[in-house]
Amino acid sequence: MNQQSHLFDEDKPKVKNIQIIDGPQADFLNLPYDVTDCLFGGSAGGSKSYSIVLDNFINAEKYAIHWNSLIVRKTYPQLDDIFVKCNEVFGDRARWNEQKKMYTFHNGARVKLGHMQGKRDHLNYQGHSYSGIYVDEVTHWDTPEQIDFVRSRLRSTHAEMKPYFRSTTNPGGPGHQWVSERYRVEDYPQGYVLFEVKGDDIPEEYKSKIKKTSKDYRTYIPARLKDNPHLMQNDNYINTLLSLPDKTLVKALLEGDWSVLAGTFFDEMRPNLHIVDDFEIPHDWERGFGYDYGYTFPAGVYVAFDPKDKIFYIYDYYLDSKVTIEDQGRAIKQKHLENQMFPEDDEANYADPTIFQGEPPTVYDRILMNINFQRGINNRIYGWNLIRTLLKPSEKDPPRLKILKKAKYVYDCLKNVPRSDKNPDDVDTNSNLDHHLDALRYLLVTKWFLPNSGRIEEMGLKSWEY
């Protein structure tokens, strides 16, 4: 049930009533005075971004010129959604200044929109002071340092207004782990537990000089899609989430479950579905080789495409350890000849794009005497979603990616590579199981599945948001 919030007196300009949804959104907007740090996080569609705009609107009307806030996203283009919501909620009560990236209300209140994409972008806010700071999608930052710097800009000279920090997010993203730990989400997934912010990281010489007249608390409020009646009636929105290839991520986004994003990354792997007996690859099948450069663990994967059944087969692999780039080139050339591939055919060979970088002679220059490569596309999340889509069987069709027994090592990498603790949308790059998988995605993406090429749909597979 929705409750109408009438925020204006009769003698003020008429604006449409703001709807505040009973439940988590209303709780977020009515937090106690001493809750100076709150995470509003959970499922997609839980009205999180809209809530921080509403909170700014309420405070701007209440505190007038004393309200000066900042809303932050990772990149500036990501602010577009916030900008639209601000225009909708603020209406003619506030004027937008494009140069300052700021809304100024009729009573002098200010709401600034900002971003922090670069490693030093937080310094743009040095010397600033804000009565409220809001970070939308806080898990987009892989570490808390920039967030904490901006939080240090909280100030207030108004006796009745205690400055505070608010953030929103879905589970997942590069900062999943540190955000979950800070707000103790997995310990108390139901939320609404207050933890005192004691400032344990304050240097000893300053602790005795700080006089606190009240306590500060941190809390987590779980946002759930089911609490947003508007989106619950939107089949297109829910179907878009359901179409994502990573069903573990779907569960996290639909239910706001932070705990499911753990364990192995490709939990679709089944030997009876994905491993097949060795067979000779027909001459007319298209073949390709993906290469991930490294001195300690250089890796390569051979893939062939069956045009009749539209199935990709990983049929061989290259693995070495602590050998020079020249020796790697010679070994790959020999393996190419064994697999009836041409080392000079750059239409079949795709490599880690870093081999083309640096001062000459580059890695590419040094390996070129034995084998020619094209630059592979290094879009990690797109690549993992593609591999997951090919691995997943449908009700009518088998998986579109299978592995010959002689290449079972690659199957083991797919089955056992862990999910990243820092970014659940990615694999753990410290496991040493990702090298052949990197080589696989360079090859599949660049040779057969360029982004937005329509090839996924041509294969009769469900696409996803890139």
What CATH number does the domain containing 442 carry?
A: 3.30.420.280
Instruction: Write down which residue in 162, 197, 225 finishes a domain.
Output: 225
Q: 3-class DSSP state for residue 156?
A: coil
Could you tell me if residue 245 is inside a domain?
no
Q: What pLDDT shows up at residue 9?
A: 33
In tens, the pLDDT along 132-178 reads 999 999 988 878 999 999 999 998 877 778 899 999 988 877 787 78
Residue 33 pLDDT level (bands cut at 50, 70, 90): confident
46 contacts 39 by C-beta, under 8 angstroms: no
Residue 252 in any domain: the answer is no
The answer to whether residue 382 is domain-embedded is: yes
- Classify residue 152 by its DSSP letter: T
Q: Report whether pLDDT(275) > 60.
A: yes
431 in a structural domain: yes
| pLDDT score of 196 more than 60 | yes
Residue 85 has a pLDDT of 93
Q: Flag whether pLDDT at 1 surpasses 60.
A: no
Do 167 and 302 reside in the same domain of the chain? Answer: no
Amino acid found at 73: R
Tokens representing residue 143 in the block: 């570490």
- How far the first Cα of the chain sits from its last, in Å, is 35
d(CA 40, CA 28): 7
Are the CB atoms for 397 and 466 separated by under 8 Å? Answer: no
Q: Which tokens hold the place of 7? A: 């925020």
The DSSP result for 5-68, as a single string, is E--S-TTSPP-PPEEEETTHHHHHHT--TTEEEEEEEESTTSSHHHHHHHHHHHHHHHHGGG-E
Contact (Cβ atoms closer than 8 angstroms) between residue 146 and residue 123: no
- Does some domain include residue 261? no
397 and 341, same structural domain? Answer: yes
Do 196 and 334 lie in one domain? The reply is no
Query: How many Å apart are CA 338 and CA 134, to the nearest integer?
Result: 59
Structure tokens at 370: 């034995």
Between 247 and 66, residue with greater pLDDT: 66
Q: What sign has the CA pseudo-torsion 166, 170, 173, 178?
A: positive
Sign of the C-alpha dihedral, residues 394, 400, 401, 404?
positive
| Residue 51 pLDDT exceeds 50 | yes
Asked if residue 38 is part of any domain, the answer here is yes
C-alpha to C-alpha distance for 418 and 202, rounded to whole angstroms? 36
Of the three residues 187, 208, 225, the one that is the final residue of a domain is 225
183 plus 313 within the same structural domain: no
Q: pLDDT tens across 293-341, in order?
A: 999 899 999 999 999 999 999 999 999 988 999 999 999 999 999 998 9
Q: Which of the four pLDDT bands, split at 50, 70 and 90, describes residue 213?
A: low
Q: How many residues does the chain have?
A: 466
Could you tell me if residue 239 is inside a domain? Answer: no
Compute the average pLDDT of residues 6-15. 33
The whole domain housing 48 covers 2-225
Report the alpha-carbon distance of residue 23 to residue 250 in Å, rounded.
Answer: 23
Each residue's pLDDT tens digit, 407-451: 999 998 998 788 887 788 899 888 788 999 999 999 999 999 998
On whether the pTM is more than 0.75, the answer is no
- Nearest alpha-carbon partner for 397 in 327, 306, 330: 306
- How many Cα atoms are found within 13 Å in the side-chain-facing hemisphere of 62? 12
Q: Where are the alpha helices (DSSP H) in 66-216?
A: 80-90, 145-151, 176-182, 204-207
Q: Distance between CA atoms of 42 and 222, rounded to whole angstroms? A: 5
**Domain identity same for 277 and 132:** no
CATH of the domain at 144: 3.40.50
Residue 249 lies in a domain: no
Shared domain check, 208 and 121 = yes
Do 282 and 139 belong to one domain? no
Instruction: Supply the DSSP symbol for 202.
Output: S
Residue 207 has pLDDT above 80, yes or no: no
Lowest mean pLDDT among 256-260, 329-333, 396-400: 256-260
Are β-strands 217-223 and 195-196 bridged in parallel, bridged antiparallel, or unpaired?
Answer: antiparallel
Residue entry with tokens 């009636």: 233
pLDDT at res. 34: 86
- Amino acid 224: pLDDT: 74
Distance CA 371, CA 334 (A): 10
The residue written with tokens 């500060």 in the block is 216
Chain centre distance of CA 303: 29
Structure tokens at 10: 């009769």
DSSP β-ladder status, 94-97 and 102-105? antiparallel
Residues 154 and 295 in one domain: no
Residues 216 and 301 both lie in one domain: no
21 pLDDT tier (thresholds 50, 70, 90): confident
Number of folded domains that form the chain: 2
Backbone phi and psi for residue 245, each to the nearest 5 degrees, phi listed first: -70, -30
Domain boundary among 168, 195, 225: 225
